[in-house]
Amino acid sequence: MAHSTQLNVATIEQQAAKHDETAQNISAQLDQLKQQVEATLAASTSGATRALSMTCDSWIESVRKSVLAHLQAMAENIRRESKNQGATDEASTQALLNLPMELGNFLVS
Protein backbone atom coordinates (compact mmCIF):
# COMPACT_ATOMS: atom_id res chain seq x y z
CA MET A 1 0.00 0.00 0.00
CA ALA A 2 1.38 3.39 -0.96
CA HIS A 3 1.98 5.96 1.72
CA SER A 4 0.15 9.23 1.48
CA THR A 5 0.41 12.58 3.15
CA GLN A 6 -3.28 13.17 2.56
CA LEU A 7 -5.33 13.41 5.74
CA ASN A 8 -8.93 12.37 5.84
CA VAL A 9 -11.71 13.96 7.83
CA ALA A 10 -11.83 11.10 10.35
CA THR A 11 -8.11 11.40 11.13
CA ILE A 12 -8.38 15.15 11.53
CA GLU A 13 -11.42 14.79 13.81
CA GLN A 14 -9.52 12.26 15.93
CA GLN A 15 -6.73 14.78 16.45
CA ALA A 16 -9.19 17.50 17.42
CA ALA A 17 -10.94 15.06 19.78
CA LYS A 18 -7.57 14.30 21.43
CA HIS A 19 -7.18 18.00 22.19
CA ASP A 20 -10.68 18.09 23.67
CA GLU A 21 -10.02 14.95 25.70
CA THR A 22 -6.73 16.30 27.03
CA ALA A 23 -8.46 19.53 28.08
CA GLN A 24 -11.18 17.54 29.87
CA ASN A 25 -8.59 15.38 31.65
CA ILE A 26 -6.66 18.42 32.83
CA SER A 27 -9.87 20.07 33.99
CA ALA A 28 -10.82 16.98 35.99
CA GLN A 29 -7.38 16.89 37.60
CA LEU A 30 -7.67 20.57 38.50
CA ASP A 31 -11.06 19.90 40.08
CA GLN A 32 -9.58 17.02 42.08
CA LEU A 33 -6.69 19.22 43.24
CA LYS A 34 -9.13 21.91 44.34
CA GLN A 35 -11.11 19.34 46.35
CA GLN A 36 -7.95 18.12 48.04
CA VAL A 37 -6.91 21.65 48.97
CA GLU A 38 -10.41 22.37 50.30
CA ALA A 39 -10.25 19.20 52.42
CA THR A 40 -6.89 20.33 53.77
CA LEU A 41 -8.30 23.78 54.51
CA ALA A 42 -11.26 22.23 56.32
CA ALA A 43 -8.87 20.25 58.51
CA SER A 44 -6.57 23.19 59.22
CA THR A 45 -7.48 26.85 58.96
CA SER A 46 -3.95 28.09 59.62
CA GLY A 47 -2.57 31.03 57.70
CA ALA A 48 -0.30 28.74 55.70
CA THR A 49 -3.23 26.55 54.67
CA ARG A 50 -5.31 29.60 53.68
CA ALA A 51 -2.35 30.89 51.65
CA LEU A 52 -2.08 27.48 49.97
CA SER A 53 -5.77 27.59 49.13
CA MET A 54 -5.59 31.10 47.67
CA THR A 55 -2.47 30.26 45.66
CA CYS A 56 -4.07 27.08 44.38
CA ASP A 57 -7.24 28.94 43.36
CA SER A 58 -5.19 31.51 41.47
CA TRP A 59 -3.07 28.88 39.77
CA ILE A 60 -6.08 26.76 38.77
CA GLU A 61 -7.81 29.80 37.31
CA SER A 62 -4.67 30.68 35.33
CA VAL A 63 -4.36 27.15 33.96
CA ARG A 64 -8.01 27.13 32.95
CA LYS A 65 -7.70 30.49 31.19
CA SER A 66 -4.43 29.66 29.47
CA VAL A 67 -3.78 25.97 28.92
CA LEU A 68 -7.36 24.77 28.61
CA ALA A 69 -8.38 27.70 26.46
CA HIS A 70 -5.47 27.05 24.11
CA LEU A 71 -6.26 23.34 23.83
CA GLN A 72 -9.90 24.10 23.05
CA ALA A 73 -8.91 26.78 20.53
CA MET A 74 -6.53 24.35 18.81
CA ALA A 75 -9.30 21.77 18.50
CA GLU A 76 -11.62 24.39 17.01
CA ASN A 77 -8.91 25.56 14.61
CA ILE A 78 -8.24 21.99 13.46
CA ARG A 79 -11.93 21.43 12.77
CA ARG A 80 -12.38 24.77 11.01
CA GLU A 81 -9.36 24.27 8.75
CA SER A 82 -10.49 20.75 7.95
CA LYS A 83 -13.85 22.11 6.79
CA ASN A 84 -12.11 24.87 4.82
CA GLN A 85 -9.84 22.34 3.13
CA GLY A 86 -12.82 20.14 2.37
CA ALA A 87 -14.60 23.07 0.71
CA THR A 88 -11.47 23.88 -1.31
CA ASP A 89 -11.17 20.23 -2.40
CA GLU A 90 -14.81 20.20 -3.50
CA ALA A 91 -14.38 23.42 -5.46
CA SER A 92 -11.25 22.07 -7.17
CA THR A 93 -12.97 18.79 -7.99
CA GLN A 94 -15.90 20.64 -9.48
CA ALA A 95 -13.56 22.83 -11.53
CA LEU A 96 -11.87 19.71 -12.92
CA LEU A 97 -15.21 18.11 -13.72
CA ASN A 98 -16.22 21.23 -15.64
CA LEU A 99 -13.22 20.96 -17.99
CA PRO A 100 -13.95 19.96 -21.58
CA MET A 101 -14.00 16.20 -21.97
CA GLU A 102 -10.88 16.05 -24.17
CA LEU A 103 -8.79 17.88 -21.61
CA GLY A 104 -10.39 15.96 -18.75
CA ASN A 105 -9.44 12.64 -20.36
CA PHE A 106 -5.88 13.81 -20.72
CA LEU A 107 -5.68 14.68 -17.03
CA VAL A 108 -7.15 11.34 -15.93
CA SER A 109 -4.94 9.17 -18.17
Q: Is residue 46 part of a domain?
A: yes
pLDDT of residue 107: 60
**How many domains, in total, are found in the chain?**
1
| CA atoms lying within 13 Å on the CB side of residue 42 | 6
What pLDDT is stored for residue 9 in this prediction? Answer: 78
Residue 1: predicted pLDDT: 45
Cβ partners under 8 Å of residue 27, min gap 6: 64, 68
CB atoms under 10 Å from CB of 75, counted, come to 20
Host domain of residue 49: 29-108
CA dist list (Å): 62 to 18, 46, 49: 22, 24, 20
What pLDDT does 64 receive?
93
pLDDT tens for the chain, residues 1 to 109: 455 557 777 888 899 999 999 999 999 999 999 999 999 999 998 999 999 999 999 999 999 999 999 999 999 999 988 888 877 777 877 787 776 766 556 665 5
Task: Tell whether 92 is covered by a domain.
Answer: yes
Tell me, what's the pLDDT at 46? 93
Residue 6 lies in a domain: no
pTM of the model: 0.70
Q: What distance in Å separates the CA atoms of residue 88 and residue 39, rounded to the nearest whole number?
A: 54
